[in-house]
Structure 1
Amino acid sequence: MGLFDFFKKKSSGEEKPIEDGDKTVVQSDNTDDSAPGWEAIDAEFDRLYPDQPNPRHYGTLIKYMFGGPDPLDGISVYDAGEFWHFVGYGLSELYTKESSDPEYSGYGIELTFKLKKSDNDEEEIKNGCGLLQYVARYIFKTGKVVLPEEYIYTKQTVGIDAHQKSKLTGFLTARDNLAKPLDTPHGKVEFVTLIGATDAELRSVYESETSKLEVRKLLQELGNQITDYDRQSLV
């Protein structure tokens, strides 16, 4: 049984279908040492950042399938001017088609994160990679996929920044508004971005009878998908 075989993709009536014109189609001649899923992600971020052929990259020493602690095989970080744009590699099928679902590649998503630059970039970039690995680990262990317009609320009160001082304690999620969905040789992949949210914002969603509408409202009020550890709560 492959890594993704236990997972059954769930559909939501509220999810907007991806139109053909809004996705990047990637074709590849698969060989034993090829990674068409990885190459598809690279191609999309090369489109976004053509002047950065060699972005910062943080790879894992021991792959998750071989007992390593980190489910993402790697995370690339691009300089987007005002912010750092992270993208993970590992929630889709990077190397070979393992699952029996022909429509989606792996879980059908990869995580992204847009972190506002600061005076503590080096430490916060490493911390940001840890956050992506944390969410990916949750997905791998539970089989529950993080989709757009959802929230991640652990009820923790410390910040998600490196020094745990920020008012942002969890995440809202959205479709990445920069990276287009992919149609890879292994199936569809959508980029889901994590957006830092305060405890008060997350509680307002958690306690709402219409949580999805509350998430949409907060995303609209935020006005962008950048995580700013210094921002104040909207609630």
Structure 2
Amino acid sequence: MADRGAPGRDAIDGVLAGLYGDREPLRAGAAGTAGPTGAAALEQISAYPRIEPVPHWHLISYGMTELYEKTSDNHRHSGCGFEFTFRVARAPTETEPPAWALNLLWYLAEHQAEIDAWSSSQPVRLSGPIAPDLDTRLRAVMFVDDPELPWIDTPHGDVGFLQVVGLTLDEVQAAELWRMDSFQDLFAAKFSLSVTEPGRASALTDPEFAAAAAAGSAADGSDTNRLVMDVRWSVVDGAAIVTVGAAEVDSLRRMIQARLPHDRSLLVAGPTHRVRFAPGTSFRLREYPPRQPDKPYHHLTLRLPQAAVAAVADALRPIAGDHPVPGLPLTVHVERSELRDSTGEVVD
């Protein structure tokens, strides 16, 4: 492969040389080989051991961009337009980066089409703990610009560096209830270089952090315009019934309170049904049948005047049963939710 020339790889090497000089990184994966699941999304992951500002591994992927030749029609960006980086806490005796961190980067690269890390401004919930064999509360990731690696111009287009950052689920909710960039700034002020420490507690256990996130949400509202959950609806004689699970109703309540008072709508997307809560001058509901065979969603739009937002939020309680909204042809039906452990088994 060396004979082919690698202008994309050389450009990445160049920006890393600006940060690390002539230090040689550890390298995981060999040119042309596939990751653990068989997909050849990444060619290599380089790992630099760091001491400052806190001990950590700085991991950088090779393969999300066009390393050797231009093959895409997008002449502005190289490949996906970015490489992943990951900063993982390092013990003083560690001589190699943890396998779980490498595997996570392989996984994110292989599932980039579904995750859409570059375009998505929201955190991504994982199917389990970020490090399966460790005692960790981190079960999601967000993507931030790597604080030490600038955008670069390569012969194949621009390349940025998206850093993967591990989050707890309550941190995900705090981020979704606020502006993502503001949450990221608050997070970076607490955790140097946004290093991921699997054993850490939630940042929200820090009263100052929690208060700042809550105040920011109250002042700015949320920039999360879509909430994915199991939702259904029906309309009978002009009255709507919206059905949600007890385990998810609190998230919906908080999101409505963080969106509609700031004149922003919220789409709740389920497998077959979708409900859009939107601000309006008076209450209105409108049904939309499925429009495309490949998108068989039943849509309902509920326009709520500001005076009705609090009443709807009050009806969203984690108690199984029907909760009519006073003064509106709207009922929230809450179903009992099954609680599951980390393996997916139902627990009592």
Same fold (TM over 0.5): yes
Q: Quote the offset at 1:73 in angstroms.
A: 0.5
Helix, strand or coil at the partner of 1:86: strand
Match of 1:179 in 2: 149
- Length-normalised TM-score, structure 1: 0.73
Q: Is the 8 A contact 2:70 2:156 kept in 1?
A: yes
Instruction: Pick from 123, 136, 140 the counterpart of residue 151 of structure 1.
Output: 123
Deviation string, structure 1 residues 10-63 (Cα, Å, up to 9, x no partner): xxxxxxxxxxxxxxxxxxxxx9611111111111111111141x2100114754
Aligned residue identity for 1:144: D
| 1:103 aligned onto 2:76 | yes
Match of 2:273 in 1: none
Match of 1:204 in 2: 174
Match of 1:39 in 2: 10
How has the CA–CA distance of structure 1 residues 162 and 47 changed in structure 2, closer, same or farther, with 3 Å as cutoff? farther
Match of 2:42 in 1: 72
Q: How does 1:1-235 map to 2 (within 5 A)?
A: 33-52=4-23, 54-60=24-30, 63=33, 68-81=38-51, 82-118=55-91, 121=94, 125-139=98-112, 141-142=113-114, 144-147=116-119, 150-154=122-126, 156=127, 158-161=128-131, 163-206=133-176, 208=177, 210-211=179-180, 213-235=182-204
Q: Is the 8 A contact 1:124 1:162 kept in 2?
A: no
Structure 2 residue runs of 5 or longer lacking an equivalent are 205-348
How has the CA–CA distance of structure 1 residues 211 and 176 changed in structure 2, closer, same or farther, with 3 Å as cutoff? closer
Q: Quote the offset at 1:126 in angstroms.
A: 1.9
Aligned residue identity for 2:78: S
Aligned residue identity for 2:129: G
Which one has the largest radius of gyration? 2
Q: Quote the offset at 1:146 in angstroms.
A: 3.1
- Length-normalised TM-score, structure 2: 0.51
Q: Quote the offset at 1:205 in angstroms.
A: 3.1
Looking at structure 2, the residues matched to 69 and 40 of structure 1 have their Cα atoms a distance apart, in angstroms, of 24
Instruction: Tell me whether 110-119 or 217-226 shows the greater mean CA deviation.
Output: 217-226
Q: Quote the offset at 1:181 in angstroms.
A: 1.2
Instruction: Tell me whether 35-44 or 218-227 shows the greater mean CA deviation.
Output: 218-227
Structure 1 residue runs of 5 or longer lacking an equivalent are 1-30
Q: Quote the offset at 1:213 in angstroms.
A: 4.5
How has the CA–CA distance of structure 1 residues 162 and 50 changed in structure 2, closer, same or farther, with 3 Å as cutoff? farther
> Which one has more relative contact order, counting CA pairs under 8 Å at least 6 apart?
1
Aligned residue identity for 1:111: F
Q: Is the 8 A contact 1:60 1:72 kept in 2?
A: no
Pairs aligned (count)? 198
Q: Quote the offset at 1:88 in angstroms.
A: 0.1
Q: CA RMSD in A?
A: 2.7
Q: Quote the offset at 1:211 in angstroms.
A: 4.9
How has the CA–CA distance of structure 1 residues 211 and 43 changed in structure 2, closer, same or farther, with 3 Å as cutoff? closer
Q: Is the 8 A contact 2:134 2:198 kept in 1?
A: no
Looking at structure 1, the residues matched to 17 and 96 of structure 2 have their Cα atoms a distance apart, in angstroms, of 25
Looking at structure 2, the residues matched to 122 and 200 of structure 1 have their Cα atoms a distance apart, in angstroms, of 33
Q: Is the 8 A contact 2:115 2:124 kept in 1?
A: no
Deviation string, structure 1 residues 74-101 (Cα, Å, up to 9, x no partner): 0000112211100000111111001111
Q: Is the 8 A contact 1:179 1:191 kept in 2?
A: yes
Looking at structure 2, the residues matched to 147 and 85 of structure 1 have their Cα atoms a distance apart, in angstroms, of 23
Deviation string, structure 1 residues 164-215 (Cα, Å, up to 9, x no partner): 3111112122100111211000000000001111121113334x27555445
Q: Is the 8 A contact 1:72 1:136 kept in 2?
A: yes
Instruction: Tell me whether 172-181 or 213-222 shows the greater mean CA deviation.
Output: 213-222
Helix, strand or coil at the partner of 2:133: coil
